[in-house]
């Protein structure tokens, strides 16, 4: 447990990606099985302990430390695991520190009534850092700034195995990953993943940059629409049917009508959409389906899910990923004719002639559900990750709005000495006159030099401070670009932008000439 605690502690305070990779790799190299496997599971969100609840920890702390002192401390610290870890008496000298594997295995086997006793014993045997790691582990959500991808990359760096190969087997593995580590250390075979409906890492596209337009032979590419939904992988083997997001998170539960339609043995790549009478609904209709834990009959009827298929990865026993795109497409069409699954269709290929024709297509694609074009090299295999060249996405031009800077917040890591996160607003006119309403937040889209200028401007125009946030006088216009805007109850303005970024800093423009909220509202696609 102490090694895991030290890892947590250092990850919490290490801002750099490289630093984190080094720490995880070092931990994997020096920690035996099964501890390192459980740690890996914790880092990749693969552990859950339904019998250990936050309320139980709170009860234990109140009992040991007194309800008043606990309440005052919790109020000050604000995080349950941290509060209890800091105020629990002793420095671990009370008893032997438990091993990580002991904690995980005993907790998985324990009944609800046994957990408090186990927990108290472990807390007595650990110092504050160990207690923090223990409590974070069992309540889930380590929040140490490590994604599953980063953890796998660290394993790849450490073992010299390409991260794509680790991704390929990853979703067929279970903690504590003894077979994975044996393989990575050359002591065992590559884990077998053929038996179940296992997620296969997806292929992603590069954005087509302005200076690349016209720079290569476009006739080598097929084009199709880029649909504004959620990229999914449908994986069905026997009765095992699963819907994965592009990161491998399972979303099957939320879309039972799709799972029901997956009466086949295949792995498919497609876009999850809400479709009514053949018409694709805007993205936030799909969002409403995603946010539901339980799917009601009304939801199913009002927001019917649909998958528009892009690609075929595995057809029965045949892994076709190595085939060129054209050949996979032919198999996909043949497969679709044969199987005819409900609630699905094929994403059509779009005919075009040359770059000019393609640009016209893109410019004319104002349909709400279309984000732009996908370009796929006809001879390219389906490979995991985001290789440069075979696939491009060419989004249609972004929407823009002239906004006024309202608040700035300190950034993180290397940017922590800069005010680099900007909240901007648009004008709303009412009986009292004109007022700025915040409409979004952006923290990229500018150069390092522009960041320095913005930082200086913020410091010289501060009117108010709230912790890491500064309020500034309305005096700077930011031209913000975004992909779309939709209604949202979570924002004061009732609007939410997708992918807002700073497009240009309009040092020249008077704030009174910035846009109104109404202008943004007119851009909503219902």
Partner 1 sequence: MPVAAPKPSSWIRVEPAGIFVEPGGFHVDPGRAVGWAVVTHGHGDHARPGHDAVLATPETLAIMRARYRGDAGRRQQPLAYGETVRIGEVDVRLMPAGHVLGSAQVVMDYRGSRVVVSGDYKRRPDPTCRPFEPVPCDVFVTEATFGLPVFRHPPAAGEVAKVLESLTLFPERAHVIGAYALGKAQRMIAELRAAGYAEPIFLHGGLVNLCDLYQRHGVDLGPLVPATGAAKADLQGAVVLAPPSAIADRWSRRLPDPVVAMASGWMRVRQRARQRGVELPLIISDHADWDELLATMADVDAPEVWVTHGREEALVIAAASQGRRARALNLVGREEDDAE
Q: With binding defined as CB under 8 A, does residue 299 bind partner 1? A: no
Tokens for 104? 């995980």
Of 197, 195, 335, 342, which is closest to residue 260 (Cα–Cα)? 342
User: How far separated are the first and last CA of the chain, in Å rounded?
Assistant: 52
- CA distance readout (Å), 379 to 44, 196, 222, 269, 350: 35, 29, 10, 18, 17
Q: With binding defined as CB under 8 A, does residue 83 bind partner 1? A: yes
Nearer to partner 1, 72 or 512 (CB): 72
Q: How far is CA 406 from the centre of its chain?
A: 28
Q: With binding defined as CB under 8 A, does residue 18 bind partner 1? A: no
Binding residue for partner 1, selected from 2, 6, 12, 224, defined by CB under 8 A: 12
> Helix crossing, 17-30 with 2-13: angle to 10°?
170
Q: With binding defined as CB under 8 A, does residue 141 bind partner 1? A: no
Smallest gap from residue 416 Cβ to partner 1 (A): 3
Handedness of CA 207, 210, 356, 282 (dihedral sign): positive
Smallest gap from residue 478 Cβ to partner 1 (A): 22
Nearer to partner 1, 30 or 187 (CB): 30
Binding residue for partner 1, selected from 56, 80, 86, 213, defined by CB under 8 A: 86
Q: With binding defined as CB under 8 A, does residue 14 bind partner 1? A: yes
Smallest gap from residue 17 Cβ to partner 1 (A): 14
Smallest gap from residue 463 Cβ to partner 1 (A): 19
Provide the mask over 380-419, with x wherever binding to partner 1 is found by CB under 8 A and - wherever it is not.
Answer: ------------------------------x-x---xx--
Which H or E run contains 307? strand 305-315
Q: With binding defined as CB under 8 A, does residue 333 bind partner 1? A: no
Nearer to partner 1, 408 or 439 (CB): 408
Tokens for 71? 């309440």
Q: Is 150 in contact with 20 (CB distance < 8 Å)?
A: yes
The pairing of strands 305-315 and 344-346 is: parallel
**Rounded CA separation 296/289 (Å):** 10
Binding residue for partner 1, selected from 48, 69, 279, 322, defined by CB under 8 A: 69
**Rounded CA separation 301/461 (Å):** 52
Smallest gap from residue 189 Cβ to partner 1 (A): 37
SS3 category, 229: coil
Smallest gap from residue 475 Cβ to partner 1 (A): 21
Binding residue for partner 1, selected from 50, 78, 278, 348, defined by CB under 8 A: 78
Smallest gap from residue 157 Cβ to partner 1 (A): 18
In three state form, how does the secondary structure of 374-424 look?
EEEECCCCCCCECCCCCEEEEECCCEEEEEEEEEEEECCHHHCCCEEEEEE
Which H or E run contains 327? helix 325-339
Q: For residue 112, count CB atoms less than 10 angstroms from its CB and return exposed for 0-12, middle for 13-18, buried for 19 or more.
A: exposed
Q: With binding defined as CB under 8 A, does residue 313 bind partner 1? A: no
Q: With binding defined as CB under 8 A, does residue 525 bind partner 1? A: no
Tokens for 514? 């910035």
- How does DSSP classify residue 49? -
Q: With binding defined as CB under 8 A, does residue 26 bind partner 1? A: no
Q: With binding defined as CB under 8 A, does residue 433 bind partner 1? A: no
Binding residue for partner 1, selected from 2, 62, 73, 106, defined by CB under 8 A: 73
Q: With binding defined as CB under 8 A, does residue 29 bind partner 1? A: no
**How many residues bind to partner 1 according to rule CB under 8 A?**
26
Nearer to partner 1, 68 or 337 (CB): 68
Q: CB under 8 Å, gap of 24 or more: what pairs does 495-500 form?
A: 495/439, 495/520, 495/521, 495/524, 496/440, 497/439, 497/440, 498/283, 500/440, 500/441, 500/442
Q: With binding defined as CB under 8 A, does residue 253 bind partner 1? A: no
**Rounded CA separation 399/451 (Å):** 23
Tokens for 255? 């879309």
Q: With binding defined as CB under 8 A, does residue 462 bind partner 1? A: no
Nearer to partner 1, 80 or 164 (CB): 80
Q: With binding defined as CB under 8 A, does residue 342 bind partner 1? A: no
Cis ω for the linkage preceding 176 (within 30 of 0): yes
Per CB under 8 A, which region of 43-51, 69-77, 178-186, 235-243 contacts partner 1?
69-77
Per CB under 8 A, which region of 26-34, 62-70, 234-242, 517-525 contacts partner 1?
62-70
Report the interface residues with partner 1, using CB under 8 A. Answer: 12-15, 65-66, 68-69, 72-73, 76-79, 82-83, 86-87, 128, 132, 410, 412, 416-417, 467-468
């Amino acid at each position: 447990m102490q090694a895991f605690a030290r890892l947590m502690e250092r990850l919490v305070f290490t801002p750099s990606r490289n630093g984190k990779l080094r720490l995880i790799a070092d931990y994997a190299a020096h920690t035996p099985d099964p501890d390192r496997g459980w740690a890996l599971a914790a880092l990749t969100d693969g552990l859950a302990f339904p019998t250990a609840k936050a309320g139980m920890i709170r009860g234990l702390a109140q009992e040991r430390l007194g309800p008043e002192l606990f309440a005052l401390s919790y109020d000050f610290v604000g995080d349950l695991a941290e509060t209890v870890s800091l105020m629990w008496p002793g420095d671990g000298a009370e008893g032997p520190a438990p091993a990580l594997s002991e904690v995980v295995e005993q907790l998985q086997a324990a009944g609800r009534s046994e957990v408090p006793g186990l927990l108290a014993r472990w807390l007595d045997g650990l110092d504050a850092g160990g207690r923090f790691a223990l409590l974070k582990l069992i309540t889930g959500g380590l929040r140490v700034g490590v994604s599953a991808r980063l953890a796998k990359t660290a394993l790849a760096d450490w073992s010299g195995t390409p991260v794509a190969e680790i991704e390929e087997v990853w979703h067929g593995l279970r903690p504590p990953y003894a077979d994975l580590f044996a393989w990575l250390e050359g002591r065992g075979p590559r884990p077998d993943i053929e038996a179940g409906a296992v997620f296969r890492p997806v292929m992603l596209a590069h954005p087509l940059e302005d200076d690349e337009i016209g720079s290569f032979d476009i006739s080598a590419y097929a084009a199709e629409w880029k649909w504004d939904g959620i990229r999914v992988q449908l994986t069905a083997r026997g009765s095992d049917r699963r819907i994965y997001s592009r990161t491998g998170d399972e979303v099957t539960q939320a879309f039972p009508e799709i799972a029901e339609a997956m009466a086949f043995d295949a792995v498919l790549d497609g876009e999850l959409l809400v479709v009514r009478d053949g018409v694709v609904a805007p993205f936030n209709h799909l969002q409403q389906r995603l946010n539901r834990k339980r799917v009601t009959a009304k939801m199913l009827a009002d927001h019917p899910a649909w998958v528009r298929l892009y690609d075929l990865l595995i057809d029965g026993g045949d892994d076709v990923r190595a085939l060129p795109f054209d050949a996979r497409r032919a198999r996909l069409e043949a497969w679709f004719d044969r199987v005819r699954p409900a609630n699905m269709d094929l994403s059509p290929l779009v005919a075009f002639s040359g770059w000019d024709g393609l640009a016209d297509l893109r410019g004319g694609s104002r349909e709400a559900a279309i984000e732009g074009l996908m370009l796929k090299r006809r001879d390219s295999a389906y490979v995991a990750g985001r290789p440069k060249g075979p696939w491009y996405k060419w989004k249609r031009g972004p929407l823009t709005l002239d906004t006024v800077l309202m608040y700035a917040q300190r950034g993180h890591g290397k940017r922590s000495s800069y005010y680099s996160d900007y909240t901007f607003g648009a004008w709303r006119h009412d009986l009292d006159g004109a007022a700025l309403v915040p409409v979004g937040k952006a923290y990229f889209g500018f150069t390092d030099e522009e960041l320095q200028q913005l930082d200086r401007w913020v410091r010289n125009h501060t009117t108010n401070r709230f912790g890491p946030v500064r309020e500034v006088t309305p005096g700077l216009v930011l031209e913000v670009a975004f992909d779309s805007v939709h209604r949202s109850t979570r924002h004061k303005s009732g609007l939410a932008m997708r992918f807002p970024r700073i497009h240009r800093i309009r040092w020249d423009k008077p704030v009174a000439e910035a846009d109104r909220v109404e202008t943004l509202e007119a851009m909503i696609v219902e």
